[in-house]
Amino acid sequence: MVIVVMGVSGSGKSSLAMALAETEGWDFQEGDELHPPANIDKMRAGSALTDADREPWLDRVADWIGDKLRQQRDGVISCSALRRRYRERLRQTGSNVRFVYIRVPRDELLRRLQQRDHFMPAALLDSQLHTLEEPVDECDVLTVPGEAGLEEILGTCRTLLGRATPR
């Protein structure tokens, strides 16, 4: 199985994905590391990515997922997966892809973004929220509240995934 931990910037995708991978002993990939340098430069400059900008990145994310599934290795990857069609693209890699959507209120996201040092500036939050198509009626998406602490979110995630006891 490969789990895609999704949400807008500042939602805690990377932290949750790393914790889940570590707890389960699964492979982990930070999705931001798969962005082409031009995307990172564009975001760092305060410009929102377009669908065309995201395509090569989504291809790299899909390749990572596909590789894990072909190798029959479990994995966790962080990826905003903002639009339903992005998630559909990632689903095409195989039948054993699941998503965990971290839902966080805008004010909390803004607070988090203002406190961190990252190429994605807080000024781009509204563009991400505008692009976000929350997963509705997508049976392979677990939605977790992102205001809780990491351990609580991890526990909720593991319970919903049927992984309540560590390996």
List the chain domain ranges.
2-160
Distant-in-sequence, close-in-space partners of 30: CB < 8 Å, separation ≥ 6: 14, 17, 18, 77, 78
- CA–CA separation, 86 vs 54, rounded Å? 9
> Is residue 150 helix, strand or coil?
helix
Residue 120's pLDDT is what? 59
Report which of 90, 104, 78, 87 is spatially closest to residue 18, judged by C-alpha positions: 78
**Do the Cβ atoms of 41 and 120 come closer than 8 Å?**
no
Distant-in-sequence, close-in-space partners of 72: CB < 8 Å, separation ≥ 6: none
Residue 97's pLDDT is what? 95
**Do the Cβ atoms of 152 and 144 come closer than 8 Å?**
no
**Do the Cβ atoms of 124 and 50 come closer than 8 Å?**
no
* Residues pairing with 6 in the sheet: 101
Where residue 166 falls among pLDDT bands split at 50, 70, 90?
very low
- CA–CA separation, 72 vs 129, rounded Å? 34
**Do the Cβ atoms of 11 and 107 come closer than 8 Å?**
no
Task: Report pTM.
Answer: 0.89
User: Average of pLDDT values for 111-130?
Assistant: 74
Q: Is the pLDDT of residue 116 over 80?
A: no
The CATH superfamily of 2-160 is P-loop containing nucleotide triphosphate hydrolases (3.40.50.300)
Q: pLDDT digits over 154-164, tens only?
A: 998 888 777 65
